[in-house]
Amino acid sequence: MDLTSVNSALRRVPSWLIYICGLAPAVWLFWLGLTGGLGVEPIKALEHRYGELALQFFIATLAVTPARRFLGLNLVKHRRALGLICFAYVVCHLLVWLLLDVQIPSQILADIAKRPYITVGMAAFLLLVPLAVTSNNVSIRRLGPKWRRLHQLSYPAALLAALHFVLLAKGFQIEPLLYLAAILLLLLLRVRIPTLRRV
Amino acid sequence: GAIGGGLAQAQEAELDPNTWEEVTSYCNFYEFGTGKTDPASYAGQMTTSPWEVEIDGMVDNPGTYGFDQILSEMTLEERIYRFRCVEAWSMVIPWQGFELADLLNLAGVQEGAKYVAFETLLRPDEMPGTRYPVLDWPYREGLRLDEAMNPLTIMATGIFGKPLPNQNGAPLRLVVPWKYGFKSIKSVVKITLTDQEPPTSWNMANAREYGFYSNVNPEVDHPRWSQASERRIGGGLFSRRQPTLMFNGYEAEVASLYEGLDLTKNF
């Protein structure tokens, strides 16, 4: 399949448009939460929706490389935007949890230490912080080859993020496992098996 | 129905119920899906009439009791109770129903019975959630006999003076106000008197997290949620947490049931 025209069209999409479209749901969901559109328990609903969007943008970001390699679809220009939008949703998710949900500082610390799904989620967040901070041209230039290695932290971060969702589900639920499966698949596609490598 | 009993009247006076919309739109009823609004969306397809409850085990009059037959024998009354979910949210709900003790006495509890086991309807063609192994269906719950006979324990048939909506456990459900909500089993089709502690669904799924007793206790943490505080549904996006009360505020009525029991071990 020849995607040349699709790829050149995608290249012409300005980054600011990706940021605006990607982040608009954050504002819209908050507005819905304020005005009753998220049901009678808007705090949990908002927390969960932000968390799901973070996972979805994480998956989109991780899909950029395999999409180019296996489908010829080139979204590399927009990978930074996708990654930073993912991080923005992680921050929104965390802020709703801290400020609206738990509220009590001592309980926040106890939760991080005592509850495995929160420990895991917090670890994923901490791994993403240096990636967000270095998602700019200056850092890429300064860090050189180290930049690529640093950004491989996104792999363990994605696994922890998916595990965070799996661990918080009550009973046996399929949805979190689908996110985990998608992330595992996208990571496996990066494993280069020497005998299959084409020159 | 007439307001009867007299128990918990003091608390009732200060309790301000949630709204109909809150109580009927935010539910856990995994037979219809794990989302909070799934029960309101999908429970409408559950057939609740005719409805029969099988009462068996250590009773003098085992058999199948029709819902209308049960209603004709019972006196309905209103009970406004706090409702505390193990997920650390809560509501105040005006129930109509009758004391479980009255139903058990109708069946005639035999000497030696120590526990009461309950089962929810399992009808996969009307309950989309049961097509997935979220839990080991049918949903099962249980009480110690003295808990079941406590006057606070009711079988509810309505809320806000109307018949129970399907998502809230129509036509007949248990309400045990001092225990986490999942103990208050919905849409009951079977009640068994036994001398053995019965298996219960959440305990079977994860015994470390869900004990047989599951009494509301702010001092005993659930591994995933602190139980020290709760959020009352209906306060909007900036709702504050409030402290959780021992036995959900029914300590005076039920603490004596657990004298001598280590509540951190028997959680």
Please give the interface size between A and B, counted as residue pairs whose CB atoms are below 8 Å apart: 63
CB-based contact B140:B198 (threshold 8 Å): yes
Q: CA-CA distance, B177 to B188, in Å (whole number)?
A: 17
Give the largest CA-CA distance in chain B: 54
**Which of the four pLDDT bands, split at 50, 70 and 90, describes residue B79?**
very high
**What tens digit of pLDDT does each residue of B170-181 get?**
999 999 999 999
Number of domains in chain B: 1
Amino acid code (one letter) for A183: I
Nearest-CA distance from A169 to chain B in Å? Answer: 9
Supply the DSSP symbol for B196. Answer: S
Nearest-CA distance from A75 to chain B in Å? Answer: 34
Mean pLDDT, range B138-162, rounded to an integer: 98
Nearest Cα residue in chain A from B135: A171
Backbone dihedral angles phi then psi of residue B8, each to the nearest 5 degrees: 60, 15
In the beta sheet, which residues pair with residue A127? none
Provide the token pair at A61.
């970001």
Q: CA-CA distance, B93 to B23, in Å (whole number)?
A: 7
Task: Identify the pLDDT of residue B77.
Answer: 97
CB-based contact B24:B167 (threshold 8 Å): yes
List the one residue out of B194, B182, B102 whose CA is nearest residue B145. B194
**Closest CB from B36, B229, B241 relative to A39:** B36
B22 touches chain A (CB under 8 A): yes
**Residue B3 belongs to a domain:** no
Nearest-CA distance from B266 to chain A in Å? Answer: 21
Q: CA-CA distance, A60 to A82, in Å (whole number)?
A: 7
Return the H-helix or E-strand segment holding A27. Answer: helix A15-34
Task: Identify the pLDDT of residue B12.
Answer: 55
Give Cα A16 distance to the centre of its chain.
Answer: 18
Contact flag B134-A172 (C-beta cutoff 8 Å): yes
CA atoms B167, B28, B184, B91: torsion sign: negative
**Closest CB from B21, B37, B241 relative to A103:** B241
Nearest-CA distance from B5 to chain A in Å? Answer: 32
Q: CA-CA distance, B149 to B258, in Å (whole number)?
A: 14
Task: Identify the pLDDT of residue B33.
Answer: 96
Percent of chain B with pLDDT over 90: 93
Tell me the residue length of chain A. 199
Position B11 pLDDT exceeds 90: no
Interface test with B, best of A34, A40, A112 (most B CBs within 10 A): A40
Nearest Cα residue in chain A from B207: A171
Helix (H, G, I), strand (E, B) or coil at B57: strand
Mean pLDDT, range A114-141, rounded to an integer: 97
Contact flag A111-B132 (C-beta cutoff 8 Å): no
In the beta sheet, which residues pair with residue B82? B92
Interface test with A, best of B237, B239, B241 (most A CBs within 10 A): B237
Helix (H, G, I), strand (E, B) or coil at B159: strand
Nearest-CA distance from A155 to chain B in Å? Answer: 26
3-state DSSP helix/strand/coil percent for chain B, to nearest 5? 25, 25, 50
Position B7 pLDDT exceeds 60: no
Question: DSSP H helical segments within chain B, as ranges?
Answer: 9-14, 20-25, 38-42, 67-73, 100-107, 145-149, 201-205, 251-254
Percent of chain A with pLDDT over 70: 96
List the one residue out of A150, A128, A113, A115 whose CA is nearest residue A55. A128
Percent of chain A with pLDDT over 90: 89
B218 touches chain A (CB under 8 A): no
Predicted-complex ipTM score? 0.88
List the one residue out of B73, B102, B100, B113 whose CA is nearest residue B193. B113
**Residue B4 belongs to a domain:** no
List the one residue out of B182, B198, B178, B180 whose CA is nearest residue B190. B198
**Closest CB from A39, A102, A171 relative to B25:** A39
CB-based contact B88:B230 (threshold 8 Å): yes
Percent of chain B with pLDDT over 70: 95
Enumerate the domain spans of chain A. 4-196
Which segments of B152-243 are extended strands (E)? 154-159, 162-163, 173-175, 188-194, 229-232, 242-243
CB-based contact A10:A78 (threshold 8 Å): yes
Q: Domain range holding B122?
A: 9-258
B260 touches chain A (CB under 8 A): no
Task: Identify the pLDDT of residue B10.
Answer: 45
**What tens digit of pLDDT does each residue of B18-45 get?**
999 999 999 999 999 999 999 999 999 9
Supply the DSSP symbol for B111. Answer: T
User: Which residues of chain B make contact with A44, given a CB cutoff of 8 A?
Assistant: 36, 89
CA atoms B202, B206, B210, B211: torsion sign: positive
**Residue B263 belongs to a domain:** no
Nearest-CA distance from A114 to chain B in Å? Answer: 8
Contact flag A40-B233 (C-beta cutoff 8 Å): yes
**Which of the four pLDDT bands, split at 50, 70 and 90, describes residue B223?**
confident
B37 touches chain A (CB under 8 A): yes
Task: Identify the pLDDT of residue B4.
Answer: 46
B241 touches chain A (CB under 8 A): yes
B144 touches chain A (CB under 8 A): no
**Residue B223 belongs to a domain:** yes
**Residue B264 belongs to a domain:** no
In the beta sheet, which residues pair with residue B232? B90
* CATH code of B139's domain: 3.90.420.10
Position B106 pLDDT exceeds 90: yes
Provide the token pair at B11.
């608390």
Contact flag B89-A34 (C-beta cutoff 8 Å): no
Nearest-CA distance from B23 to chain A in Å? Answer: 9
Nearest-CA distance from B184 to chain A in Å? Answer: 17
**Which of the four pLDDT bands, split at 50, 70 and 90, describes residue A195?**
low
Average pLDDT, chain B: 94
Helix (H, G, I), strand (E, B) or coil at A74: coil
**Which of the four pLDDT bands, split at 50, 70 and 90, describes residue B1?**
very low
Which segments of A9-78 are extended strands (E)? none
User: Which residues of chain B make contact with A111, given a CB cutoff of 8 A?
Assistant: 226
Q: CA-CA distance, B83 to B15, in Å (whole number)?
A: 11
Provide the token pair at A52.
């799901």
Backbone dihedral angles phi then psi of residue B246, each to the nearest 5 degrees: -55, 135
**What tens digit of pLDDT does each residue of A130-145 get?**
999 999 999 999 999 9
Nearest Cα residue in chain B from A41: B233
Give residue for tokens 């009973």.
A171
Interface test with A, best of B91, B134, B140, B224 (most A CBs within 10 A): B224
Return the H-helix or E-strand segment holding B142. Answer: strand B140-144
Supply the DSSP symbol for A185. Answer: H
